[in-house]
Amino acid sequence: MMVVHVERLAGAVAHLRLQGRLDAAAAPGLRARLDGALAGGATQVLVDLSEVPFIDSTGLGVLVSGLKAARRADGNLRLVAPGPQVRRLMRLTALDRVFTILETV
Amino acid sequence: MNSLASGPALFIQPHYDDVPLSCGGTVALLAEHGHEPRMVTVFAGELVDEMVGPFAAWKHERWKVTDAEQVLAVRRAEDADAARTLGAPVRWLGMPDAIYRGDRYKSDQELFGPLIGEEIELAIHLAEEIRHLPEWREGIRVFVPLGVGSHVDHQLVFEAGRSLAGQGAQVYAYEDCPYAIHTPAGVTARLAALGGAVGEPVLVPIGDALDKRLDAIACYRSQVPVIFRFTADFRSAVAEFAIRTGGASGPAERFWPVRPHGSP
């Protein structure tokens, strides 16, 4: 089961720290938290994936959807510290071209 | 009752419409008999600008796509309608279509050519992903496209099926329509290319479920004129193909058991 910790940083920055598998079962929960952060006025979203051991394409899809929503609000969604499996799936789907990746917050 | 028309079943389609087009009768039969079949659309991811390279942009121009977001909404609504018509819920995964996977495919020739190394890796990942879907149950029968027509996305899902077969799952390949309808030689060519990867075909007589397949196909209102540009009457084209497939058994759909890599 995935846990999402949401922290509002300075200005319009939201930091979402994910713990656990980001798969088809967990994706709707993350989508709700992303929607909530954006609806609350955050435009710069940082999604910390350092404690996500596995992601599937539905999980990636929610991140793409969140990126689109952030851009519509003139903001951005960036990924922080994805692990090897996450990076691998991003490479295989070519979604590594879409996201900005930060090594730390 | 035919053994393929009973028990839990997961129908994997590369794109919106492949399962209703190819084997919607079998899905409807399973649903009618209370077996609760499920559908999964694999390449149903959303788009952002960076994913649209020169080849995808050329495709969009050819398809007259001006608002990709609107196209996605329409395609999903049609897929949901078709799934409801067959009596099987559908799940959309987040994989990007081949034309949006970087610059791996730069022409139609490549799009219908052999799978390259990274794509085989993606197929193995997809198999893993399917095994962890909420719909997965022990003993569930999995249906994947045979890959007639050789579209790389169809080949990739077939390879995922092969990987699942290697993990002990019972996997069958369906006959990709409309490719099999308008180019029958494509089936022979694909079977020759696959060699021992599939066994002898199995027929599933679908009887009146043919009507549900046709009704489900009709749900893809934006696609029918394109998919069936070779005929003015798609219902007759699909029905005649099903009747020809079944012969004395009446309208039928055809499936091939998928063998794992390394099988004799």
Q: pLDDT tens across B177-192, in order?
A: 999 999 999 999 999 9
The mean pLDDT of A54-79, rounded to a whole number, is 97
Question: What is the chain B residue with the closest CA to A64?
Answer: B46
The mean pLDDT of B2-15, rounded to a whole number, is 92
Most A-contacting residue of B122, B136, B152, B156 (CB-CB within 10 A), to test interface: B122
pLDDT computed for residue B169 by the predictor: 97
DSSP β-ladder status, A100-102 and A76-80: parallel
Give the whole-angstrom CA distance, residue B35 versus residue B27.
9
ipTM, two decimals, is 0.94
Question: What is the chain B residue with the closest CA to A92?
Answer: B122
Q: Which of B190, B168, B192 is closest to B179 using CA atoms?
A: B190
Domains, chain A: 3-102 (3.30.750.24)
Residues in chain B: 264
Give the whole-angstrom CA distance, residue A18 versus residue B246.
52
Q: What percent of chain B has pLDDT above 70?
A: 99
DSSP β-ladder status, B141-145 and B9-13: parallel
pLDDT computed for residue B5 by the predictor: 85
Closest to B129 (Cβ–Cβ): which among A56, A65, A68?
A: A56
Give pLDDT tens digits for A9-31.
888 999 999 999 999 999 999 99
Largest CA distance in chain A: 35
Q: Is A76 within 8 Å of chain B by CB?
A: no
CB contacts of A79 in chain B (<8 Å) are: none
**Does A97 have pLDDT greater than 90?**
yes
The mean pLDDT of B127-135, rounded to a whole number, is 97
CB contacts of B121 in chain A (<8 Å) are: 92
Closest to B48 (Cβ–Cβ): which among A58, A67, A89?
A: A67
pLDDT computed for residue B29 by the predictor: 97
Domains, chain B: 3-257 (3.40.50.10320)
Question: 3-class SS at B3?
Answer: helix
pLDDT computed for residue B1 by the predictor: 57
Most A-contacting residue of B72, B93, B104 (CB-CB within 10 A), to test interface: B93
pLDDT computed for residue B68 by the predictor: 86
Question: 3-class SS at B206?
Answer: coil
Q: Which of B253, B243, B252 is closest to B143 using CA atoms?
A: B253
Q: Count CB-CB contacts under 10 A for residue B210.
A: 23
CB contacts of A60 in chain B (<8 Å) are: 45, 94
- Given an 8 Å threshold on Cβ–Cβ distance, is B129 in contact with A95? no
Residue B116 pLDDT class (50, 70, 90 cuts): confident
Positive or negative: CA dihedral B181, B184, B188, B194: negative
**Does A60 have pLDDT greater than 90?**
yes
CB contacts of B122 in chain A (<8 Å) are: 92-93
Q: Is A95 within 8 Å of chain B by CB?
A: yes
Angle at the Cα of B69 from the Cα atoms of A91 and A77, rounded to 5 degrees:
50
Which alpha helices (H) appear in chain B, and where do they start and end?
A: 18-32, 54-63, 68-86, 108-111, 117-131, 152-166, 179-182, 185-194, 209-218, 224-227, 234-246
What is chain B's mean pLDDT, rounded?
95
